Amino acid sequence: MYKKSYLFLLISFFPVVVNAQCIALQTYPAETSFEITTYNDEGEISSATKYQVEEVRKESERTLIMMRFIITNKKGKEIDKGNRSIIISGNNYNINLSSVIPEYKSDDPIYIQYSCTPKPGDDIPEFSRVTTYEEDNMGQISIISNKVGLDEGKYGTTEEIITELGTFNCIKLTYKVRYDLQDFVYTEWIDQATGRTIKIERINKKGKLDSYSLLTKFN
């Protein structure tokens, strides 16, 4: 059940970078910590994800922001942990799909590509793939396949978002994700000054709010 509650967590709460040497490094230097809280459609807490930036690694043609994460359920019990990273290259940054959909697994990672300098009307690349991963069940290895797709990704208008952390002027990004026979529409509100995603909503195929997440801490 907890998997549904944090389906779209939340490395989408990373920077829209002007370039690899600017906002990304200024916003998420090593040792930065932050927390994202996910709520159900009734506003009740479903889960929280804590991140710690452990390393910013510059390579010849890209920069990696490498993080450790811990996810807890509404009772504060740890339900997942591991490592995730953002790949910044050229005028784009790439986020592993399993960071957006935590229960999605693949031995051949798929990345969502975001623009570093988004403008209203800009698109993000779509994809549709079938991938596999190995699962160990009491010593017995199984091969599991997934079909996943993203389309209709487009940056939209700007809006003011108010949270406990303050007031933010944000650009909207909306896209559709199809995974495991489910269709959802995601909308992100990305702060134009810092590149941080402040809020994400997930809408089900009936057009109703399924869940939403907020950036609730940043140090």
Q: Give per-10-residue mean pLDDT for the chain (219 aa).
A: 47 48 66 93 94 92 90 92 84 78 73 87 93 79 86 96 95 92 90 87 94 93
Residue 116 has a pLDDT of 81
pLDDT for the residue numbered 20: 41
- As a whole number of angstroms, the distance between CA 108 and CA 131 comes to 7
How many domains does the structure of the chain reveal? 1
* Token duo for residue 67: 């993080």
Identify the domain containing residue 110 by its residue range. Answer: 2-218
The overall pTM is greater than 0.85: no
> SS3 of 167, please?
strand
pLDDT for 114 equals 84
44 neighbors 75 (Cβ within 8 angstroms): no
CATH for 21:
2.40.360.20
Q: Which pLDDT belongs to residue 176?
A: 95
Q: What is the pLDDT of residue 122?
A: 96
| Nearest C-alpha neighbor of 197 from the set 22, 1, 10, 53 | 10
